Amino acid sequence: MATIIYTHTDEAPLLATYSFLPIIQAYAAKAGVEVETRDISLAGRILAQFGLADDALAELGALAKTPEANIIKLPNISASIPQLKAAIKELQEKGYDLPDYPENAQSDEEKAVVAKYDKVKGSAVNPVLREGNSDRRAPASVKNYAKAHPHRMGTWSPDSKTNVATMGKDDFFSNEKSVVIPADDTLRIEHVATDGTVTVLKESVPVLAGEVVDGTFMNVAALRRFLTEQIARAKADDVLFSVHLKATMMKVSDPIIFGHAVQAFFPTLFEQYGEQLAAAGISPNDGLGALLSSVANLPDGDAIKAAVEAGLADGPAMAMVDSDKGITNLHVPSDVIIDASMPAMIRTSGHMWGPDGEEADTLAVIPDSSYAGVYQTTIDDCRANGAFDPATMGSVPNVGLMAQAAEEYGSHDKSFEAPAAGTIQVVNAAGDVLIEHDVEPGDIWRACQTKDAPNRDWLKLSVTRARASGAPAIFWLDENRAHDANLIAKVNEYLPEHDTEGLTIEIMAPAAATAYSLERIRRGEDTISVTGNVLRDYNTDLFPILELGTSAKMLSIVPLMNGGGLFETGAGGSAPKHVQQLVKENYLRWDSLGEFFALAASFEHLAGYDDNARAQVLADTLDKATGTFLENDKSPTRRLGGIDNRGSHYYLATYWAQELAKQTDDAELAADFTALADLLVSNEDTIVAELNGVQGHPVDIGGYFQPDDAKAEQVMRPSKTLNEALASLG
């Protein structure tokens, strides 16, 4: 029997799975397709590291390299340290024998524990599964719906004081060096202190011929000066101060930068109590929230809290994650993720929420200048031309280079804080120094790799999408950046291998590519952005949030390089709030539209790979059902009283059964689903009443990071009539 793997992940997507997966399995079985799950949740990954669960992520990583791979990947937690600690605590309370996360690992045993936990923090899943490059775009049905029913956009003023602040020098962009490896080799990364002492930071880094290897660093003294200047600027300009990083994906470098931002905002606090906080294992990298929750037992706990309040009063007004609860931009490193936070700000008049609960202009601090210009260009465009119009605007689909941990995704195990003054070097097996930087203590250094096979595949995919869509394809590459210069050379070398006659394919630096794309958007025209990995993340949130109001409705296909398929289901940035609402009032507003698109693409891929005609029927009818779903506006409403995620699944199942019943390609399938469609339609009032009748009361799902399956299923499948109808399909 053909198999699709549906990933068991975290938070709202996981809760939605308890409701939607039984529908998928019932329908797929009629096509001879088995839908299995694999647990790649944060909890599951933690348990696997300590031998308490199967290592499903490693299993799927191996599967992704095979032609038979067919994986539907839902959003998962990219854990910050506070999230990781919270998950460990919950699992310990459930009886799992897990060690605490060592704050300051000293012994070999503690260092081994940290190494295990480090394997699951940050963006640990995506680099393993993404053995292919990304094809991400808005399905026609979604784009048409957005034009017919445009989402609300804030009004931009030409007097808006919102801006981006970025370093422009002494940062990762300006310090980058890049080499192309001439032959298979093994590299090592070492620190050479000023007294000649050599410390090996990374012993063995295998590289292949043609691979691009980069090294760069951020000067921390310059970073601290920059942050201090921007805090003063925000106060002088009377705008909110906010820091925008990606402490989840860039799980080593960005939490350190975040910690410097915390220290820069509260200089007096850390001058007076920094040593006491460090001795207690309290790190600014974990955020202000962790600090405040940890100081109660310190001798100067009350004084430290008072120093925090004084710092907040003395500094500029800070952008808030939740002004009602006093949660600031600096509370948790994973609360403000740049690819979600910046588009939301631009969509909302260039505003964020202030401590007073009101919207206000904002200084968005993005320390590294590699991609900051993308957001400044968009802000400048809105200031000059007003907000975009979702009813008429064009689209910016993306082809993203991400296969085999390309670019910054592969930097996690090659990122370090300089232990002392000296140099950090990348040295090949022959002892030749390929990359070298002079560093001071605490400077943040990192290296990354981009193999040649993903580069070739990325370029091929970009030509394929340009040919299929007719839209221009723009490579967002800056000749002034060392890594990009090497990629430009490869694009120029490999592009003649493809038929590009009649296509528009150009290379532009990111800010210029943004301006070009925005000009076309305002004319209702589409432009393909062909980008590296981090820009892929940024663009596939920025443009969809402006066009559609969300990035969760995108079709995200990863054609795996060895022939399989990975089908992603959209972003999960608001998932925590959805879980909180479910637990509080038994209402889940998570929109599973991304799952619908991914599932249809998965069936279509399986039909071709397995020569399964029924899988193609399922794909075609699901596409049509999703169109009806959108036209009838059956996505979850935001508040109690409307249909939630469970109700939207019922309507999708109904429309899908109706499409299967009336299709003429397979009479047996039509007969099977005619009976089910009749049941679902005739019992609509009963089913909706059963689904909506449970709303308004707290529920127990048995855990946040690891819900109890029985409890979660009971909560997410409250309609006895719907459950019996699905069971009748046999």
- pLDDT tens digits along 236-270: 999 999 999 998 878 889 999 999 999 999 999 99
Task: Classify the C-alpha dihedral 535-250-38-695 as positive or negative.
Answer: negative
Question: What is the pLDDT at residue 318?
Answer: 97
What would the mean pLDDT of 645-662 be, rounded to a whole number? Answer: 98
- Given a cut of 80, whether residue 32 has pLDDT beyond it is yes
Residue 395: inside a domain, yes or no? no
- Given a cut of 90, whether residue 576 has pLDDT beyond it is no
Instruction: Quote the longest CA-to-CA distance of the chain.
Output: 82
Confidence of residue 564 (pLDDT cuts 50, 70, 90): very high
Contact in structure between 355 and 320 (CB atoms under 8 Å): yes
Residue 182: inside a domain, yes or no? no
- Given a cut of 90, whether residue 423 has pLDDT beyond it is yes
Looking at the DSSP bridge assignments, the partners of residue 433 are: 427
pLDDT in tens, 102-149: 878 889 999 999 999 989 987 788 888 989 999 999 888 888 888 988
Lowest mean pLDDT among 44-48, 98-102, 553-557: 553-557
Residue given tokens 């394809």 in the structure block? 473
In whole numbers, what is the pLDDT of the chain averaged over residues?
Answer: 94
Question: What is the pLDDT at residue 82?
Answer: 86
- Given a cut of 60, whether residue 560 has pLDDT beyond it is yes
- Given a cut of 60, whether residue 573 has pLDDT beyond it is no
Question: What is the pLDDT at residue 555?
Answer: 87
Question: What is the pLDDT at residue 1?
Answer: 66
- List alpha helices for 633-719, DSSP H: 645-662, 667-682, 684-692, 709-716
The Cα 430–Cα 428 span in angstroms is 5
What would the mean pLDDT of 194-217 be, rounded to a whole number? Answer: 96
pLDDT in tens, 54-63: 999 999 999 9
pLDDT in tens, 19-29: 999 999 999 99
Tell me the C-alpha to C-alpha distance, in Å, between residue 355 and each of 235, 265, 656.
Answer: 14, 16, 46
- Segments forming the whole domain that contains residue 288: 163-172+219-382
Tell me what percent of the residues of the chain surpass a pLDDT of 90: 85
Q: Locate 273 and state its tokens.
A: 């109590």
- Given a cut of 90, whether residue 364 has pLDDT beyond it is yes
Q: Locate 25 and state its tokens.
A: 């399995």
Residues in the chain: 730
Neighbours of 432 (CB within 10 A): 11
- Given a cut of 90, whether residue 334 has pLDDT beyond it is no
Question: What is the pLDDT at residue 572?
Answer: 61
Tell me the C-alpha to C-alpha distance, in Å, between residue 540 and each of 293, 519, 535, 543, 561.
Answer: 35, 18, 8, 6, 21
Tell me the C-alpha to C-alpha distance, in Å, between residue 332 and each of 286, 356, 415, 706.
Answer: 6, 20, 21, 21
Neighbours of 402 (CB within 10 A): 26
- Given a cut of 80, whether residue 482 has pLDDT beyond it is yes
Q: In Å, how far from its chain's centre is CA 582?
A: 22
Secondary structure of the chain: what % helix, strand, coil (to 5)? 50, 20, 35
Question: What is the pLDDT at residue 571?
Answer: 67
pLDDT in tens, 292-314: 999 888 889 999 999 999 999 99
* Total domain count, the chain: 1
DSSP string spanning 282-336? --GGG-HHHHHHHGGGSTTHHHHHHHHHHHHHHSPPBPEEEGGGTEETTS-TTTS
Cβ contacts of 119 within 8 Å, gap of 6 or more: 45, 49
Q: Are strands 565-568 and 70-73 parallel, antiparallel or unpaired?
A: parallel
pLDDT in tens, 432-479: 999 999 999 999 999 999 999 999 999 999 999 999 999 999 999 999
- Given a cut of 90, whether residue 688 has pLDDT beyond it is yes
Mutual angle of helices 593-610 and 11-29, in 10-degree steps: 40
Backbone φ and ψ of 178, nearest 5°: -145, 140
What would the mean pLDDT of 165-172 be, rounded to a whole number? Answer: 98
Question: How is residue 180 annotated by DSSP?
Answer: E
Residue 67: inside a domain, yes or no? no
Q: Which DSSP helix (H) or strand (E) runs through 427? A: strand 422-427
Residue 491: inside a domain, yes or no? no
Question: What is the pLDDT at residue 381?
Answer: 98
Tell me what percent of the residues of the chain surpass a pLDDT of 70: 99
Confidence of residue 574 (pLDDT cuts 50, 70, 90): low
HEC per residue, 626-655: HHHHHHCCCCCCCCCCCCCHHHHHHHHHHH
What would the mean pLDDT of 75-80 be, rounded to a whole number? Answer: 87
The Cα 480–Cα 173 span in angstroms is 9
Answer with the residue of higher pLDDT: 130 or 658. Answer: 658
Residue 681: inside a domain, yes or no? no
Lowest mean pLDDT among 401-410, 613-622, 702-711: 401-410
Taking alpha carbons only, the member of 462, 319, 341 closest to residue 397 is 462
Residue 441: inside a domain, yes or no? no
